[in-house]
Amino acid sequence: MGSLEGNRLKAVVFDWDLTLWNSWDLHLQLMQSTADALSLPRPSGAQVAREYHRPFFQHLTWFFGDDEQRVVDTYMGFYLDSMATVGGLYPGVPETLVALKDRGYRIALFSDKRQQFGELEVELSGIGHLLDYTLFLVEGRPYKPDPHGLLHVLDVLGVAKDEAVYVGDGSHDLECARRAGVAGGAALWGSLNREDLLNGHPDHSWESMDQVLLSLE
C-alpha cells in the first residue's frame, strides 16, 4: 500500500470512471443495448474491456461502425435513461472524501470523460461540494497521458508537483502522473486490467478506497 507521507501531501487528484464512479456495469449494459438497436453482434465484456482505453467516440465506432453520429446518438439515448439507476460511487468514496476534507486536503477530479457527461454524474453522485476543482474533457484539451491537464489542475489548486498524488485505474493515468512529475496511485478496486496497472510501477497502490485514507496515517 505504501505511505503517502501526509505531512508533505496537500492534494489528492482522482480520476473519475472506474476510480470514484463505477460506470462499468452501466457501460456494458449500454454497449449491449446499442448493439441490439443497431442489429449488430453484442460485444463480450472481455472485448469491451480490451478496447476501453480508446477515446470514447473511437471506442464506440470500433465496435459499431463509422457512422459516428448514429452510434453515439443510439448509445446516449440509452445512457440518459439508465445513468441514474445503474451507475454509482464505489464503496467508501463519500466517507473517504469527507475525511480527506476534514484533514485539510484539497481534492480534485481529472478525467478524460466528456464534460457534459461527467458533470451530470458528479451532480447525481452528491459529492460535488467535496471537490475543490474538476476538469473533464473539453474541446482542445489533450487526452491523457499528456500531462498538461493534470498540471493545470495542480496550478488551480495552488500545490507543487511533490505535494500531490494522482489516483487512477489505468496505466495511462500512471504515465500521465509520471510525465507531470507527480506521484501516481493505482486504484486497484476499479481497474479492468490489474496486471497492466501494476506493471506501470505505481508509487502507491490500494485495494479499496478507504486504504487511501489509511495510507495517510
Ordered by start, the domain boundaries in the chain are: 11-23+89-214, 24-86
Provide the grid cell at 112: 478524460
Kindly tell me if the per-residue pLDDT of 160 is higher than 60. yes
Kindly tell me if the per-residue pLDDT of 48 is higher than 60. yes
Q: How far is CA 140 from CA 114, 136, 137, 149, 196, in A?
A: 12, 12, 9, 11, 28
Per-residue pLDDT tens over the stretch 74-102 = 999 999 889 888 889 999 999 999 999 99
- pTM of full prediction above 0.75: yes
- Order the strands of the 204-206 sheet from edge to edge: 133-137, 106-114, 11-14, 164-168, 183-187, 204-206
Q: CATH for 11-23+89-214?
A: 3.40.50.1000
- The pLDDT, as a whole number, for residue 73 is 96
- The pLDDT, as a whole number, for residue 3 is 62
- The pLDDT, as a whole number, for residue 67 is 96
Per-residue pLDDT tens over the stretch 11-42 = 999 999 999 999 999 999 999 999 999 999 99
Q: Tell the residue number behind the cell numbers 486497484, with chain if given.
A: 188
Per-residue pLDDT tens over the stretch 97-149 = 999 999 999 999 999 999 999 999 999 999 999 999 999 999 999 999 999 99
Per DSSP, 174 falls in state H
